Each structure stands twice: as C-alpha cells, then as structure tokens.
Structure 1
Amino acid sequence: MSDKKQILHPLGKGSSFSLDFTYSFWWNLMLITVGSLLVGIGLRSLAVPHEFIPGGIFGLASLIYYKTGILSPGWLFLILNVPLFVFAWIKVSRRFFWYSAYATIAATGFYELINIPMYVESQLYASVACGLITGFGSGIVLRSLGSNGGLDVIAVYLFQRFNIGIGKVYIIFNFILFSISLLEMSLDLIIASLILVFISAIAVEKTLSLFNQRKVVFIISDKAEEISNDILNTLKQSGTFLKGFGAYSKQEKNILMTVVNNVQLKKLEEIAFSHDDNVLFIVENTFSVVGSSFSKRKVY
C-alpha cells in the first residue's frame, strides 16, 4: 500500500468478473444495424420529403439531389463516402473501415428499401422528430467500434491524431454547407434544417452518455473505513482511499473516493449517513468511466 492511497478491488476480494461487449463482433454489428435502420427511416420519412439539409455528407448529398435530381440522396451519400473510406482504410484502422462501411451501406439500403410515411405537415415538428430519430440512431452506431461514415471518418481521425473535438469538425463543415444552401434554398428551410441538426446533436450526446454516465463520490468521514467495508459488502463496489489533512483539526484522515451509477447513488448515501451523521458527501458528474471493472477503452 502506498502512503498516498489504497486501492480496493473493484468487485470485492477475489472477484474479477466483468461484462463488456465493446469488442464483440455481433454486438457491434447489432448496434450498427439498429442505428442505421433508425437513421435511414428518419431521413427517408421526414428529412427528404420536407427538403431539409440534415448536415454532414448526407446533407451535401441531399443538396445535390434537390438541385439536380441526379440519383437519390441515399446513392449520392454512398458515392460521396468512397474517398472517405479509402482514407479510413489508410489512416484509421481496418476494423474501423469495415464497421463504418457496413454502417454506410446499411443506412443506404434501409433508406432505399424502407419507406414509412410520416404525415407531419409542420416543418418545425418534422425537424424536431427527424432530429430525435436520426440522432438516436447515429448515437447507437457511434457506441460501436465504427461510425456512420461520412464526416465521422474525418472527425474520428482528427480526434485521435490531433485531439480536435468531433463537434468542431461538424460545426465547420456544416457552416460551409449551410452558407452554400442559403444561396439556393429559402430561409425557412435553412432554419428548420438547423433545428434538425441541433436536436440531432443533442440526441447523439444523450445516447452516447446513456449507459456511460457515472457519479464520482468523495466521502469525508472519521468512519471512512467502516463505510468502505459496508459499500464493499452491500454494493459490491470498490473505493480508493486518498490521504487528506484537515485544515481546522490539523489531523490526517482518509477520504474515500468511489464511482457509482445513478441507481446506486441513493443507497450509497444511506450507507454513508448510517455510519456518520456528520459525513461530508460530495457528488460529481462524469461523462464516462473507462477501465478496471467498468467499460473498456474504445480503440478503433
């Protein structure tokens, strides 16, 4: 044990069992298929009938289709992805290439083959509904080891290589795309399309954090040892002791740090206060926890 901290076993003494499907082929295939189905339905049933620009490469494909009538947005999207997939093969990884290629082909196939009419007359309602459906679908795909194709390929590469946020890549590309669209389309359609893109981005973020969000809890108490043992036995959850020094008491004490999900949080609070009415219970939100008994680090 270090004089700075003591790490307890994540799942209790002698246990190392952890369920994680991150690198399972069939799990990734299922995520991509379901997500691509939702994306295809949302685009075919709501975006294109209202002539929205969904943003990204499909947005560019849609703009070309609206102004030229050449092929369909689905086929144009597939064609525009070809050079991006060559880039993914060379610069990212073979696994990322195959998963992303499958996602693009699946989305194109679902778009071309499945037509579920959604009779939404209001542009506002249609843009919100489309943003929710496509954003949720895209988020499901991004939970896999692949991507939705299109701009995701460039965004993932820039993020891995230069730590450039994925959102920044989309903002720059969509700014250029919508600037061009302003010259060709009505302002009402552009605003509705921007609402669609904004709602979709929020839906993607919420979908990605749906099962990843955790609470980091710091428990400061003179009975940290007893609280830790109770957490380990009751919740089967680990903790880490950090050495603290009281500013007023000038005494050294253990600070218990642990990570739990939303369901476990209330039970953890009950455990802490059942041992010490004067415990200091600090909770912080965290988007994702990777490693140990939690989810594996995603490597494309």
Structure 2
Amino acid sequence: MKRRLYDYTLWNLFLLTVGAGFVTFAVQNVAAPHGFLTGGIMGVSLLCTYIFGNFMSATTWNLLFNIPLMVFSWFNVSRAFVIYTTYGTFAMSAWTVVLNGITIPIQDPLYACILSGVLYGIGCGVMLKTKGSSGGLDFIAAYVNQKWGVQFGSFSFMFNSVIFIASAFSISPDLIIVSFIQIFIVGQVTNYVVGMFNQRKMVVIITNKGQELCREIAKHGGRTTLLPAYGGYSHEAKEIVITITAKTMIKFLEELVFRHDPHAMFTVEDTFYAVGGQYRRISK
C-alpha cells in the first residue's frame, strides 16, 4: 500500500511538472510576446507585466499572487490540493528560467492565439489530472464552490470579464478579442485533455444468454449490469447486458459475445467520460 501511494505521488508530481512546462511555454514564449491576456490569476500577472514592463516575469507575478491564496486555501479548502498546487506553481517558475530566450517565429496574432490556447489547455488539463492544478483562480473557485455552490465555469467567466474590462486601458481592443478566443480554446482543450483518459465505450447486448455472457466478461476483467427485457414484437423474454469498456477492447468483446450467442444484438455507444466503479475518480 505504501509503495502504491509512493508511486502515485511521483506520478502526480511528474504530471504537474510536464503540465507546468506547457503552461509556462504558452504564457511566456507565445502569449506574452504578442501581448495576449490569459484568464485567471495568470491573466492578472500578464496585465502587471504590460503595465510595469519587465520588472518581473508573468510567472513571478503569478507566484507572488498565489502565496496568500495558498495560505488561505490551506485552512479553508484542502491541504493535499494546496501542497500539489504549490509544487505546480513553483514548477512553473522553474520552467520560466529553463525556457527563457526561446522564441516562436509566428507573426500572425491569430495563429499565435491558437497555439498558446492549445498549449495552455494541454498544460492545464494535464495538471488537473492530478490532485493539484496550476493554482491561482483554482484556489478561489474551490473555496467559492464549497461555500456558496457557485460553479467553477460561472465564477471563472465573471472573474475573467473583470480582467478584460480592466485591460481595456492598457491593451488594444483587437488583442482583447484575440485573448477571448484564446481563453475559449484553453477551455475546450482543457476539458478534452481532462476527459481524454476517461473516454470509454458503452456496450449494450440484447441476448438470451445474459448470465453466461456476464460470467465470460467478468473472466476478462470486465464488469456488467444485467437487466430483464421483453421483445416488443415477439414478447419473448430477453436479457440486456450493459458494460463499459475501452475502445481497443470492442472487437474482442464482439467476438466473445457472438461466440456464445450468434443471435445476440451488439450495440456500441460513445461515452465521453466515465468515472466510478472500476474507473478511478480524482477528487479535490
């Protein structure tokens, strides 16, 4: 058990490190050179660099803003979440030094916006696959959600709206619009990355040999639900077997079913996100 916990912790730290690299590169090497804003506390940090010049990098501003939020969340949210997120925040600062001086030869703001949005979304998604995150707004959103039940998306939209209104005094309207596009891409990519490793296929099997198929599927590590049913036309008693499986196992499962019941009906449905049961759920 201790060994598994140790391995799980190392895996979390590895993902946080990789995700922090993507986020830092997107902000420091793509977004900042083009004058874009990102959402959340990082957006505030970028706004500070545009206002105060090169006094400090965006990730350094981000670290300073995160320190009081870490202290607050330690006592009001989750200590494990704070510890992992603190590591992720410091990892972003370390990546700032490693990636310093790297330039991306993209001149078109729209192309740069798409690239930074994709990279930022990948980084956020990878970090959210752990028990931590990239920090900043996540600290506040977690507390607001626990306290008043406000959804993260709603709170994030309100917070970012305030940032963009404030930024109108320091950056052009064109860049604000491009920044909105970037944030939209970040959200879509983040959601995709978070759900990517939880994508499964739901298989529904209508058969006369439900119990037999359930036993065979269980022998190969699967889990099933068996429901009684009746044919709508024939009124013949049937059984419905429902199971969730990986896409790579669909063909194997199909052959297993028809080997035991050549007259079965085998249907597959897309399931974008599956947690619970045998599929681990990460809770913050």
* Fold shared by both chains (TM-score > 0.5): yes
Report the counterpart of residue 223 of structure 1 in structure 2: 209
Change (3 A) 1:172 1:23: farther
Over 3 Å counting, the alpha-carbon distance change for 1:207 and 1:83 in structure 2 is same
Distance 2:193 2:134 in 1: 14
Partner-residue secondary structure (3-state), 2:38: coil
1:266 is aligned with what amino acid? K
Mapped partners of 2:6, 2:158: distance in 1: 30
What's the counterpart of residue 41 of structure 2?
A: 57
Residues 122 and 286 (structure 1), Cα distance of their counterparts in 2 relative to 1, 3 Å cut: closer
Offset of 1:55 from its aligned partner?
Answer: 1.2
Q: 1:139 to 1:87 in 2, by over 3 A?
A: same
Superposition deviation, residue 179 in structure 1? 2.1
Q: 1:128 corresponds to which letter in structure 2?
A: I
TM-score, length-scaled by structure 2: 0.88
Q: Does 1:25 align with 2:9?
A: yes
Judge conservation of contact 1:22–1:28 (CA < 8 Å) in 2: no
Q: What SS does the corresponding residue of 1:216 show, helix, strand or coil?
A: strand
Q: CA deviation at 1:282?
A: 4.7
State the distance in 2 between where 1:72 and 1:106 align: 14
1:212-267 Cα distance to aligned partner (Å, 9 max, x none): 1112222112233343344344x432212122344444454321111101111233
Query: 1:70-129 CA distances to partner (integer Å, 9 max, x unpaired)?
Result: 432122111111222122101111111111111111112212442221111111111111
Name the CA shift for 1:243/1:167 in 2 (closer, same or farther; >3 Å): same
Asked if residue 75 in structure 1 is aligned to residue 57 in structure 2, the reply is: no
Q: Report how far residue 269 of structure 1 moved.
A: 3.0
- Higher RCO (Cα < 8 Å, 6 or more apart): 1
What CA distance in whole angstroms lies between the structure 2 residues aligned with 1:272 and 1:169?
A: 47
Q: Which moved more, 1:49-58 or 1:150-159?
A: 150-159
Shift of 1:50: 0.7
State the Cα deviation string for residues 45-89 of structure 1 (Å, max 9, x = none): 101111110111111111122022243212211111122212210
Moved more, 222-231 or 261-270: 222-231
- Aligned pair in 2 of structure 1 residues 294, 87: CA closer, same or farther (>3 Å)? same
Structure 1 residues 145, 89: CA separation in 2 closer, same or farther (over 3 Å shift)? same
The two structures, once aligned, show a CA RMSD in angstroms of 2.4
Look up the match of 2:112: 126
Residue 101 (str. 1) matches residue 76 (str. 2): no
Q: Which stretch shows the higher mean deviation, 67-76 or 103-112?
A: 67-76
Which residue number in structure 2 is paired with residue 177 of structure 1? 163
Q: Secondary structure at the match of 1:283?
A: strand
Which residue of structure 1 lines up, in the alignment, with residue 225 of structure 2? 240
Residue ranges of structure 2 left out of the alignment (5+ in a row): none
**Which whole-Å CA distance do the structure 2 matches of 1:284 and 1:123 have between them?**
36
Whole-angstrom CA distance in 2 between matches of 1:172 and 1:263: 41
- What is the CA–CA distance in structure 2 between the aligned matches of 1:21 and 1:136, rounded to whole Å? 26
Q: 1:22 to 1:170 in 2, by over 3 A?
A: farther
Name the aligned partner's letter for residue 44 of structure 2: L
Change (3 A) 1:210 1:21: farther
How much has 1:41 moved relative to structure 2?
Answer: 1.6
> Higher helix fraction: Structure 1 or Structure 2?
2
2:278 corresponds to 1:288? no
Residue 11 of structure 1 is matched in structure 2 by: none
Q: How many residues align?
A: 278
Matched with 1:39 is 23
Q: Describe the SS at the equivalent of 1:175.
A: helix
Q: Distance in 2 between matches of 1:23 and 1:164?
A: 34
Q: Secondary structure at the match of 1:288?
A: coil
Partner of 2:132: 146
* 1:155-166 correspondence runs (5 A): 155-159=141-145, 163-166=149-152
Supply the AA of the counterpart residue of 1:85: M
In 2, the alpha carbon distance for the partners of 1:88 and 1:124 equals 36
Decide which moves more: 213-222 or 158-167: 158-167
From 69, 86, 93, give the equivalent of 1:84: 69
Structure-1 separation of matches of 2:232 and 2:150: 40
Which has the larger displacement, 44-53 or 195-204?
195-204
Letter in structure 1 aligned against 2:275? V
Residue 187 (structure 1) shift = 1.8
Distance 2:122 2:6 in 1: 19
1:94–1:191 distance in 2 versus 1, CA, 3 Å: same
